[in-house]
Amino acid sequence: MSDTEIRTYTEEASEASKRRETEESTDEVVCPECGGRLETDTEHGETVCADCGLVVEEDSIDRGPEWRAFDASERDSKSRVGAPTTKMMHDKGLSTNIGWQDKDAYGKSLSSRQRQKMQRLRTWNERFRTRDSKERNLKQALGEIDRMASALGLPENVRETASVIYRRALNEDLLPGRSIEGVATASLYAAARQAGVPRSLDEVRNVSRIDKMELTRTYRYIVRELNLEVAPADPESYIPRFASDLDLSDEAEGRARKLIEAAREDGQLSGKSPVGLAAAAVYAAALLCNEKVTQSDVSEVANISEVTIRNRYKELLEAEGVVTA
DNA sequence: ATGGTTTTTACTGCGTC
DNA sequence: GACGCGGTAAAAACCAT
């Protein structure tokens, strides 16, 4: 943590306490009983008289910040809500946590007897939290999903979906005999397709530790067992990514979409690999828009052979010709 | 396991800069 | 002559049966 961060925080805190002092001093300055000085005990939420100990106010509201802001943007986005629940944490972030400090709710130290009790509770709570093999399984798998999703640049919602799929697979006892990594990878692959931001099997495999055969096998398996509805990948969903990887204009991108549409009308889409079609459409569109892209460029970003691009793009142009003619 | 389809690999010829 | 492009044949991969 840098110096500036520390200063920002302490300033924040002292400002808040100053504000609190001034606000309350306008109310009652002295103790109504003995006229002594009043003190605010923030830890207990009380206002007490320093001389006679009279509690003037109980359960006072702490107007200080309940968040810590380390920079300007954090201060701007300060929020009074708690952490959102998330499916990305194995317990949705909601499980019980027993603090490590031996303090009670008021911050007082615990008696040794209490301390021992809390120690036992901590131990058991921790055991219940992670003992279940399923939970531990999930913990690891979700970590993997997160890692792979980041590597592939997939958005949050895809990770969430992948997590849900994985959770379902786990609940249906689909795991025995399959690797955690494999199912996690397959879940992510399926999630990406469902979300309309597909990554090819190869791309997914590249960031995973499993081989392609295991991935396809596992993927098919969980799709079948969970009755996941995964429509065949739409070539169009690959277009934006390829187009941007090749620095093409929006115009070319739109053109590529139209080519795919034309081919769809013509019934040229079925049976062909969506990636190949998308690659060919992007290539053809670039030509039509006079934007310089070579076949090998496209084949590289799409991981598709040049031959396939040639074959597809011939067909695409024909289909387009048929429709426009 | 098998056969049909699609994709890939490897190679060759053509035109252009 | 290197490069981009187009084509072909055979091998490999994929998929449903």
Domains of chain A: 3-57 (2.20.25), 133-226 (1.10.472.10), 235-320 (1.10.472.10)
Average of per-residue pLDDT across A128-139: 71
How far is the C-alpha of A176 from the C-alpha of A170, rounded, in Å?
9
- Give the Cα separation of A238 and A47 in Å (integer): 64
Rounded-to-integer distance, Cα A193 and Cα A177, Å: 25
A294 Cβ within 7 A of any nucleic strand C atom: yes
Question: Protein A276 CA to nucleic acid C3 C1', in Å?
Answer: 23
How crowded is the C-beta side of A296, counted as CA atoms within 13 Å? 0
Nucleotide nearest to A273 (CA to C1'): B6
Judged against a pLDDT cut of 70, whether residue A229 lies above it is answered with yes
With contact defined as beta carbons under 8 Å apart, do A78 and A94 qualify? Answer: no
Tell me which nucleotides of strand C come within 7 A of a protein CB.
Answer: 3-9, 14-15
In whole angstroms, C12 C1' to A199 CA is 23
The mean pLDDT of A254-275, rounded to a whole number, is: 86
Q: pLDDT band for position A28 (50/70/90)? A: very low
Asked whether the whole model's pTM tops 0.75, one would answer no
- C1’ B16 / CA A288, Å: 20
Higher pLDDT pick, A137 / A19: A137
DSSP character at residue A67: S
| CA–CA distance, A250 with A26 (Å, rounded to integer) | 63
A46-49 and A55-57 as β-strands: parallel, antiparallel, unpaired?
antiparallel
* Residue A156 neighbours by CB distance under 10 Å: 10
